Chain A
């Protein structure tokens, strides 16, 4: 009897061990990814992968400070969302060799190199360049973001408006809306980073990709008349913003726009989830910022949002690798886009047909993404201060009449000129 009992007990222990899931913790800054990770867990478990995923999102403004403090303390999540490595354009590789992008997570040996462990054949080189350094790959890109002008299709149809192909057509469209007592643009002036995003959205079409390439190459400067002209055009556009826009936040934009309080917004596809939460029946469209003159192809601003990396000292590396291998597949890419309504970084994925604007944005990202960018994801992220840091408060200052477009351009040039190597020749 005792023998039978012991054998039964042993059987129970062995069976329970075989069913035991290995828990993989994932840290990120995107609360909208919670359902996504739950689905990933179910899919992996259905395929016999013994893993459970504990995804913990943090406030985006606090994520990196929390992550760094934890890593510095000797522990960390098994998988972490990481930022991208800002890169010089490929044609300036000699500068990159001289001026290495500083990335504390790599220098501190906190990340596991992934070459040979994960299949990266489903990602374009241009995306992979943003998470490779010295030939080593450190993460699996999870999303590309596109930013541009989104519009209320009902308002456009009501007033028989078309997507503008030049800046003057945009102004004419705004005038028509104003005449019909419709606010052309809702702008979240209180959240200064959205004004920096606005600047970047317009820049890739006006003055345009080629001008930005010259800027990155050191052949021109921010004080160039073409750039000052763009800043002036943006400053003049503020008469089409809602009254007192300087006190409105992004949260208010996310309610006002889907409720029809304005016709257009400068935003990213990442905002669409919030709009549809405010108004599930909201119909909207997308177009890139128009160029100054006809005949010039408009461009869109696209950047890799981040990647998934494995903590070098993770105690669940094998399980974490299984998760990461799945996130590098088109199947995950499709799941990501379906769940979040945003663009996956995986190439060749068909966007969900029930999200027509996402389909349009993905097509634009694949075909007219600007090769040269200077806001987030660009080379001006590499030093101190970054263009991002200078743009945000000074866009507010320009809109409030405290700074002229010319002085604004000079401020950016003076700030970045301290460290950007092509400007120091």
Chain B
């Protein structure tokens, strides 16, 4: 009898904890591709290592070099650039994204064609975009300057990617152009979830489309705006590809487009124009990016939790 009870208990315990087995595959993948590289990188930030061969423990020297030493100017400049990138791309994707989503949601003719046009840049590889725009922006024979000259705006002609004041804003505009389609689609999906009866009722009460958008649609999709803003912040502090594609690892001119991603790459791997200074230094930059981004990630999870809790 006791043996039978034990078997029943065992079966019950297995069934009760079966869900744990279900998450093991995801946990393994997460450990291998997220947790382990992060812990490994954090550990490496305390070493001097050329990428191959023996490592030398140096404590906090890498952090000292970055935060107070010879690399501090480059580091803080990169942090400022990442912040500017976030603000610039937010303004050029969230606000126009909302506007165009409203238009596409209004039932006007031809919206399907515009959906394709808006989303098309999003499917192009970033390297292709970087290469294409480097040609378009060529100061001597590029079509953009040629067009400006052609319409009598010679005063606006400049070496876009070689001008300290304009290189980074140019990259922000191009990056925003690439991403805009994605934001339009997400906002459009959020707008489509707004109850049609609410909108009909408002129309019957004589509300204008502007009023409906401002008072009904926008509050409804506001959590989506917040979520996308947080994700954009995280993405802005991880940006690398568009700057690399357009200005290389040097992120010129004279560091005017340098972001934490390009600083990390130069320190860890070097490249044309600089000698690598060590994987440990690169790992320290990555750890500092995590410190900046982590609080926002926690906030994102908190907001997501609340929304899930709200649905329930």
Contact = CB atoms under 8 A, between A and B. Distances in A.
B50 A72 contact: no
Contact of A68 (B52, B254, B275): B52
A407 B160 CA distance: 26
Nearest to B269: A65
Given A190-B252, A246-B253, A392 B159 contact: no
Given A190-B252, A246-B162, A108 B52 contact: yes
B161 A62 contact: no
Contacts of A107: 53-54
Contact of A248 (B51, B139, B271, B276): B139
A400 interface: yes
Given A385-B277, A396-B252, A396-B254, A245 B162 contact: yes
B158 interface: yes
Interface in B132-158: 134, 137-140, 158
A401 to B, nearest CB: 9
B298 interface: no
B249 A249 contact: no
B138 A110 contact: no
Contact of B275 (A110, A381, A403): A381
Nearest to B258: A393
Nearest to A105: B52
Given A193-B273, A244-B158, A400 B52 contact: no
A249 B53 CA distance: 35
A119 interface: no
A161 interface: no
Contacts of B70: 385, 415, 418
B252 A64 contact: no
B163 interface: yes
Contacts of A246: 159, 162-163, 253
Contact of A243 (B51, B52, B139, B269): B139
Contacts of B270: 61, 64
B215 interface: no
A396 B164 CA distance: 10
Contacts of A397: 254-255
Interface string B176-192: 00000000000000000
B287 interface: no
Most buried by B among A65, A108, A109: A65
Contacts of A242: 140
Contacts of A102: 50
B248 interface: yes
A295 interface: no
Contact of B52 (A72, A244, A247, A385): A72
Given A191-B248, A402-B164, A394 B254 contact: yes
Interface of B: 50-54, 70, 134, 137-140, 158-164, 247-250, 252-255, 268-278
Given A109-B53, A247-B138, A248-B159, 5 more contacts: A64-B269, A68-B50, A247-B159, A386-B274, A388-B275
The 9 closest A-B pairs by CB, nearest first: A108-B53, A247-B162, A246-B162, A247-B159, A244-B139, A244-B159, A392-B273, A193-B273, A104-B50
